[in-house]
A and B are shown apart, each in its own frame.
Chain A
Amino acid sequence: MTNSKATNSKTSTEATTMTTTNLTTREKVELSLARRRAAETRFRLYGMVSVFFGMLCLVVLFTDIASKGTSVFKQTSLTTEITLDSGYLGINKDSSIEDIRFANFEGLIKRHFAKSVKPKGRKAKRELFKLISPGAAWQLQELVLANPTAIDSTVTIELLMDDDVDQWFKHDFGNDVVDNGRLSEQQLAWLMTWIEEGQLDSHFNTLFFTNGDSREPELAGIHGAIKGTLLTLMVTLILSFPIGVAAAIYLEEFAPRNRITEIVEININNLAAVPSIIFGLLGMAIFINIFGVARSTPLLGGLVLTLMTLPTIIISARAAIKAVPPSIREAAYGLGASKNQVVFHHVLPLAMPGMLTGTILGMAQALGETAPLLMIGMVAFVVDVPGFINDPSTVLPVQIFLWSDSPERAFLERTSGAILVLLSFLVVMNTTAVILRRRLERRW
């Protein structure tokens, strides 16, 4: 059976060869021209469709994040005059910092509103107090800490409102919605009076940029995360750039070509493809368990991210060195330069732009990394803004992850807001890389 089939196909191929061989080359080309053009058009079409699809995804993502996140830059507050009654607070202008910290500012605010709004009954009082953020008491506390002489005077202050009020004012107020979030009729009535009197309004949200993390959405900010990110990246840069460049120079210029360097090369390329979580595990095993570096610190995060970015930097640095034409090396040798002089006076300066580009891209990659940090305790609630590389801290992508998992709805916009900030960081870094390449790159 198989035999007969084979002969069949053979005869048919012969038949086609017969017909084509009768044509001239020109005729053959003309015959296939339409088909080849169609193939090209199709391919272009596929390319355009895929580019368009990619752009569409990007646009949808950006508009979604931006539409959710831009409201974070506004914060609702209530302008009011409040008397810092020394009798109630139990402190005076000579009190110690500890006493001021312990003073009951929350009670003072509650008393103030109980007097001015006059709610009826315990339930109404609780509803009223819920409108004010717990951060309002800390605002007063900070004010007194900064200026103890303010005690016993009447101050005008923009008190922070609770996240529920904030969300309602920013999204639902004036929109004719039936659904009023988590606010009751009575609470809305109070809010409407405040709005009519011009006390309740939204302002630019500076707290978002000056505060560390908080469990109260209206107080949560990204300063701590940004500082942590910068410290972590600083450690990464200081360690990975010199090590990476030195390794690349040695491998490219000095190392003999043998089995060992080949194995090293293959391993570096492999490392670049290792999932980042593995670097986290490695970091945990080496830096925490053997060297005893403190958990959750930018130092530790930087060390782990160094492991991760090193292969990227080495590979790009080697490519940059390779791109320096041999004529330059030969000319330097010809003038009597030593190997060291050739490398450091001639090759390295010419390869530097390429190395820097690679380093910036490696840093951008490190900036967006969360997985290795999971293992080393940087996924943590840290309120205090880190001062140096051995303070507990978190980083921007981790902050985004933590907020996205919080029950309070107002954290949704914080999440999107933080994503916007992270994206702008990435855009700045990548643009710098492109500009550097354009400006400094030499063509031979």
Chain B
Amino acid sequence: MKKLLALSAALAASAISMSANAQRDYISVVGSSTVYPFSTVVAERFGKSTKFATPKVESTGSGGGLKLFCSGVGSATPDITNASRAIKSSEINLCAKNGVKDIIEITVGYDGIVLANTTAAKQISLTRREIFLALGKNIPNPDGSETLVDNPYKMWNEINPTLPATKIEVLGPPPTSGTRDAFAELALEGGCKAFPFIKAIKKQDKKKYKAICHGVREDGAYVEAGENDNLIVQKLVANPSALGVFGYSFLEQNSDKVQGSIIDGKLPTFDAIAEGDYPVSRSLYFYVKKAHIGVIPGIEEYLAEFTSEKAMGEYGYLAEKGMIPMTDEERTKVLSTVKNLTTLAKK
């Protein structure tokens, strides 16, 4: 017994010291769950076609990833973080405080956020204004006066008589999700801005403006269906009158089960998002710690793989996974960033 105890203590101590001192020989990637499906594909191909170990990719969310990324330099911290939004100046400052001075920003492509229903039901055409009226927590009074009331709408045709006479029921991600942030910013705020008196609030009170435009109703019309988009798709099939909010890649993978709704006259198609016509789309990024290049093996080669024609290009394998590629012009810019390892200027 005593021997066993001593043995296990020794083993634990040696293992801890061993792993603490060891230099990492694989790339560590953290960050957004939206970019995760794309960066994992690149990581896997990179691992299979080069002599380097396959990078480890963690899905921590954009904010969580940047926090880890900015926690310092050294093999205990990640080399790359994915983000479904641009880095904030507060995060750049946090990085700088912890010694992460040189950050390389690489734009990956675009992602569309779709509203979809089952193919068994009729396709719906909405404007962003109608989406805001259907899902906003406080909306302009339906009688036309410039006041805000709790959202009174129960049926779609109360908002616009041409819409179907079904209950407003939208399944979407919870507030912790980047998809929800982007949906609020692009779709709800887009519709919210259409009311001049709300837009006027922005100048006086930015916080109040954000609360109005990003607030989602909590009376059951918007159902928080968890972060699992597959689950939302399954629920949509079971409930023909419901709409769901998720990323374009899920629509693409399930195009035989669900259809994207038309927003502002545009269908969420590959081309419409790539051209920037579809209103609810955002850029995806990843950030690289320059201090780690040359220290952790393979970072430059990973960047080369990610930005190569066969990955990021118009017909690349990332496009097949549902990412919307950039135009050639934008891609050239990204390529030069990778080539020169241009770091982010301080904002």
Residues of A whose CB lies within 8 Å of any CB of B are 97-98, 101-102, 126, 130, 134, 138, 141, 179, 181-182, 214-216, 235, 238-239, 242-243, 245-246, 287-288, 291-297, 299-300, 303, 344, 348, 377, 379-384, 389-390, 392, 402, 404-409, 411-412
Q: Assuming the A-B contacts A294-B22, A390-B22, A407-B37, are A138 and B48 also in contact, with contact meaning beta carbons closer than 8 angstroms in the complex?
A: yes
Instruction: State how many angstroms separate the Cβ of B72 from the closest Cβ of chain A.
Output: 11
Within 8 A of A (CB), among B20-67: 20, 22, 24, 26, 28, 30, 33, 36-37, 40-41, 43-45, 47-51, 53-54, 56-59
Q: Assuming the A-B contacts A141-B48, A215-B321, A380-B56, are A242 and B15 also in contact, with contact meaning beta carbons closer than 8 angstroms in the complex?
A: no
The answer on a CB contact under 8 Å between B250 and A215 is: no
Instruction: State how many angstroms separate the Cβ of A264 from the closest Cβ of chain B.
Output: 19
The chain A residue with its CB closest to the CB of B76 is: A292
The chain A residue with its CB closest to the CB of B246 is: A407
B166 located at the interface, meaning its Cβ lies under 8 Å from any Cβ of chain A in the complex: no
B18 located at the interface, meaning its Cβ lies under 8 Å from any Cβ of chain A in the complex: yes
Instruction: State how many angstroms separate the Cβ of B172 from the closest Cβ of chain A.
Output: 15
Q: Assuming the A-B contacts A242-B5, A407-B249, A407-B253, are A381 and B58 also in contact, with contact meaning beta carbons closer than 8 angstroms in the complex?
A: yes
The answer on a CB contact under 8 Å between A409 and B58 is: no
> With A179-B256, A292-B20, A381-B57 given, can you name 5 additional A-B contacts, CB distance below 8 Å?
A295-B76, A296-B58, A380-B59, A407-B249, A409-B254
Contacts of B18 in A (CB 8 A): 390
Residues of B whose CB lies within 8 Å of any CB of A are 1, 4-5, 8, 11-12, 15-16, 18-20, 22, 24, 26, 28, 30, 33, 36-37, 40-41, 43-45, 47-51, 53-54, 56-59, 76, 227-230, 247, 249-250, 252-256, 315, 317, 320-322
Instruction: State how many angstroms separate the Cβ of A385 from the closest Cβ of chain B.
Output: 10
The chain B residue with its CB closest to the CB of A343 is: B1
Q: Can you pick out 25 interface pairs between chain A and chain B where the beta carbons lie within 8 Å of each other?
A: A101-B48, A215-B41, A215-B321, A216-B44, A242-B5, A243-B5, A246-B5, A287-B16, A291-B16, A293-B19, A294-B22, A295-B28, A296-B56, A299-B15, A299-B16, A299-B19, A303-B12, A379-B58, A380-B58, A384-B47, A404-B230, A405-B229, A407-B229, A407-B247, A407-B321
A102 to B50, CA, bound (A): 7
The answer on a CB contact under 8 Å between A405 and B230 is: yes
Contacts of A287 in B (CB 8 A): 16
Contacts of B24 in A (CB 8 A): 294
Q: Assuming the A-B contacts A134-B317, A215-B41, are A405 and B58 also in contact, with contact meaning beta carbons closer than 8 angstroms in the complex?
A: no
Instruction: State how many angstroms separate the Cβ of A246 from the closest Cβ of chain B.
Output: 6
A344 to B51, CA, bound (A): 53
Contacts of A407 in B (CB 8 A): 37, 229-230, 247, 249-250, 252-254, 321-322
Contacts of B40 in A (CB 8 A): 215, 381
Contacts of A383 in B (CB 8 A): 43-44, 47, 54
Contacts of B22 in A (CB 8 A): 294, 390
Instruction: State how many angstroms separate the Cβ of A76 from the closest Cβ of chain B.
Output: 18
Closest 6 CB pairs of A and B: A381-B57, A383-B54, A390-B19, A292-B20, A380-B58, A392-B56
A25 to B45, CA, bound (A): 87
The chain A residue with its CB closest to the CB of B71 is: A289
A98 to B255, CA, bound (A): 39
Contacts of B250 in A (CB 8 A): 407
A278 to B30, CA, bound (A): 22
The answer on a CB contact under 8 Å between A242 and B4 is: yes
The answer on a CB contact under 8 Å between A381 and B56 is: yes
Contacts of A130 in B (CB 8 A): 320
A292 to B230, CA, bound (A): 37
Instruction: State how many angstroms separate the Cβ of A151 from the closest Cβ of chain B.
Output: 18
The answer on a CB contact under 8 Å between A409 and B253 is: yes
Which of A101, A235, A303, A382 meets B50, CB within 8 Å?
A: A101
Instruction: State how many angstroms separate the Cβ of A2 from the closest Cβ of chain B.
Output: 44
The answer on a CB contact under 8 Å between A344 and B1 is: yes
Instruction: State how many angstroms separate the Cβ of A282 from the closest Cβ of chain B.
Output: 16
Contacts of A245 in B (CB 8 A): 1
Which of B11, B37, B43, B256 meets A406, CB within 8 Å?
A: B37
A292 to B75, CA, bound (A): 10
The chain B residue with its CB closest to the CB of A214 is: B44
Contacts of B253 in A (CB 8 A): 182, 407-409
The chain A residue with its CB closest to the CB of B58 is: A380
Q: Assuming the A-B contacts A390-B18, A407-B230, are A182 and B255 also in contact, with contact meaning beta carbons closer than 8 angstroms in the complex?
A: yes
Instruction: State how many angstroms separate the Cβ of A418 from the closest Cβ of chain B.
Output: 15
Contacts of A293 in B (CB 8 A): 16, 19-20
The answer on a CB contact under 8 Å between A377 and B228 is: no
Contacts of A381 in B (CB 8 A): 36, 40, 43-44, 56-59
Contacts of B45 in A (CB 8 A): 134
Instruction: State how many angstroms separate the Cβ of B167 from the closest Cβ of chain A.
Output: 27
Instruction: State how many angstroms separate the Cβ of B24 from the closest Cβ of chain A.
Output: 7
A195 to B243, CA, bound (A): 39
Instruction: State how many angstroms separate the Cβ of A363 from the closest Cβ of chain B.
Output: 16
A344 to B54, CA, bound (A): 49
Contacts of B15 in A (CB 8 A): 235, 299, 389-390
